[in-house]
A and B are shown apart, each in its own frame.
Chain A
Amino acid sequence: MNRTLLAFGSGLLGLVLLIFVALSVGSAGTGWGDGGGLVLLRTPRILAALAAGLALGIGGAAQQGVFRNPLADPGLTGVFGGALLGIAILLGATPTLAWQRPWIIPLAAFLGALLTSVLLVLISGRGNTARLLITGLGLNAFTAAGTLVIASRSNESRELLTNGAYGDWLGMATLELIWLPCLLCAVASILLLTLSRSFDLLSFGEDSAQANGCDVNRSRRWTVLLTALAAAAATCLVGQVAFIGLLAPHLARGIIGPRHRLMMPLSGLLGGGLLLCADTIGRAAWPQNPLSAAAVMALLGAPLFIWIARRSHE
């Protein structure tokens, strides 16, 4: 109990400090500006990073829970790629409509993510790490190629889609653009948290979970749907960013143990913190031409990922 309080307490405190720092750095200069003008300017970006990180931390934990595999992550399994491809297809087909109806971009991302999630489940089956990752690799490559093809054929959307593929959309954040994806991130996260008991039961295998009263197929369907929603909403905010859905649950499990009821909220907190931290580092180090959050995340995340892969094999 004390450990739980300590973990969440220090996590929240760290997050508050981080938000303080994030509000104070940027291309317009350090500090909060006259009358807090810079604060207003930076708030949407920070909100977007926090919401996307939250959804990714919780979505990653849920995907790992349902696959019972510490290497599952919407970035690695191609679900993100599917979300971006959904957006690319929309922009390629009707570039003007996408900007007239604010809800249509998240919808396209969601359909893309859902389709890849369903394919992932159908192809990879259950439990097998190698099959899961290889299927994810294939889906990732295919969706990335699809996005690239559409980007290279479309003059209007080329830059936008390329930036999305590099996880560089946080810089565009305005309240009008982000409110809906932020809301969807929150909704998906909260609904996924209600499934935490199922993930706990699934820890002991599908037979055991079913025997203990968990409707395994129903839990799996909801998880696929909601992680697709979380990944899609996060993609609308950031573009593609790998490793958060992988690292946040792993760190949370290390700090607080594998019980999902505690681990998932902490994973969400850490996910938000990690993404905001990556974005802030990118902005603080190169204020005039910030490095994308996804690039910073990958630079920090890749070595950690290799370390986790080694450990999970033992």
Chain B
Amino acid sequence: MSEIAVQALGVSVDFGGHLALDGASLTLPFGNVTALAGANGAGKTTLLRALAGLIPQATGEMTTAEYDPRTTPPAILASVRAYGAQAAYSAWDFALSDFPFLSSDPVLCDAWLERLELADLRHRRLSQLSVGQKKSAHLALTIASLGEPFGKIILLDEPTVGLDIARQELVQQACLDLAFAGAACVVATHDMNFIRRCHQVAVLSEGRLIAYGTPATTLTPAIIYETWGVS
């Protein structure tokens, strides 16, 4: 297995004339948590989905765990990378106790539900949970789907949105632990607190990657001003 988890070279995504991603290039190693930062509409979700293999029309070169995510069969891709969407959507009103049965690894899913402090809510249905609790349950399902984290890639879209401070801390720590165990964790987030705890940050602006490096060196006042228009 190579050291490189994710590689993108000049990746662009055109959504019907709107260039959501404009030639983004980056290389991410295993064992790290990388934050994707940027204003709303900067292309964080698009980059994450492209890396996950969910945008077949993406152009440029891409490898996710040595596979081209656009052409690799979903079942193979699912064994090396997990993707957690931003919205915790479910068409049906599952009970939390159904979640392990929906997972490819029921024992691990149960363990993650417990770690995200949902064990006591097992008998409840999704409609009886708060937004943050639902989001945490989906995270448990997503993370558990990978099994052993070593050499795997976890792509999470705003995993801490809607969570209370205690759960935010749990999720941030979970990402760091997964990276420590050898996974590559990529999180799109607006949470500065979280970004500063990540090993790297990639800053996107209008579909282009404008900065990449450790948070301390990358998040300079100039970049912050350019990205968010605040000082």
Residues of A within 8 A of B (CB): 68-69, 200-205, 207-208, 210-216, 253, 257-259, 261
Q: Is the CB of A212 within 8 A of B145?
A: yes
30 contacts between A and B (CB under 8 A): A68-B91, A201-B102, A202-B91, A203-B90, A203-B91, A203-B92, A204-B138, A205-B89, A205-B91, A207-B49, A208-B83, A208-B85, A210-B53, A211-B54, A211-B77, A211-B78, A211-B83, A212-B104, A212-B145, A213-B75, A213-B78, A213-B104, A214-B74, A215-B74, A216-B74, A257-B94, A257-B95, A258-B94, A258-B98, A261-B101
Given contacts A201-B102, A203-B102, A205-B87, 8 further A-B contacts (CB under 8 A): A204-B90, A205-B91, A211-B78, A211-B85, A213-B75, A257-B94, A257-B98, A259-B101
- Count B-side interface residues using an 8 Å CB cutoff: 29
User: Shortest CB–CB separation between residue A8 and chain B, in angstroms?
Assistant: 16
Q: Which residues of A contact B91 (CB under 8 A)?
A: 68-69, 202-205
Q: Which residues of A contact B93 (CB under 8 A)?
A: 258
Closest to A205 in B: B89
User: Shortest CB–CB separation between residue A166 and chain B, in angstroms?
Assistant: 33
Q: Kindly count the residue-residue contacts between A and B in the assembled complex, taking CB atoms under 8 Å apart.
A: 71
Q: Which of B74, B98, B104 contacts A210 (CB 8 A)?
A: B74
User: Shortest CB–CB separation between residue B159 and chain A, in angstroms?
Assistant: 14
- A214-B83 Cα distance, complex, nearest whole Å: 13
- A215-B73 Cα distance, complex, nearest whole Å: 8
Q: Which of B79, B83, B101 contacts A207 (CB 8 A)?
A: B83
User: Shortest CB–CB separation between residue A218 and chain B, in angstroms?
Assistant: 9
Which residues, 48 to 77 on B, are CB-close (under 8 Å) to A? 49, 52-54, 73-75, 77
Q: Is B82 close to A, CB under 8 A?
A: yes
Q: Is the CB of B79 within 8 A of A213?
A: yes
- A214-B77 Cα distance, complex, nearest whole Å: 10
Q: Is the CB of A207 within 8 A of B54?
A: yes
Q: Is the CB of A210 within 8 A of B95?
A: no
User: Shortest CB–CB separation between residue A149 and chain B, in angstroms?
Assistant: 38
Q: Is the CB of A215 within 8 A of B82?
A: no
Q: Which residues of A contact B49 (CB under 8 A)?
A: 207
Q: Is the CB of B74 within 8 A of A204?
A: no
Q: Which residues of A contact B82 (CB under 8 A)?
A: 211-212
Ranked 10 nearest A-B pairs via Cβ: A213-B78, A258-B92, A68-B91, A211-B83, A213-B75, A205-B89, A203-B91, A213-B74, A215-B74, A203-B92
Q: Which residues of B contact A215 (CB under 8 A)?
A: 73-75
Scoring B residues 91 to 115 as 1 if CB is less than 8 Å from chain A, else 0, what string do you get? 1111100100110100000000000
- A226-B229 Cα distance, complex, nearest whole Å: 54
Which residues, 115 to 146 on B, are CB-close (under 8 Å) to A? 138, 141, 145
Q: Is the CB of B89 within 8 A of A204?
A: yes
User: Shortest CB–CB separation between residue B112 and chain A, in angstroms?
Assistant: 15
Closest to B97 in A: A257
Q: Is the CB of A200 within 8 A of B102?
A: yes
Q: Is the CB of A212 within 8 A of B101?
A: no
Q: Is the CB of B94 within 8 A of A213?
A: no
User: Shortest CB–CB separation between residue B100 and chain A, in angstroms?
Assistant: 11
Q: Is the CB of A211 within 8 A of B52?
A: yes
- A29-B141 Cα distance, complex, nearest whole Å: 58
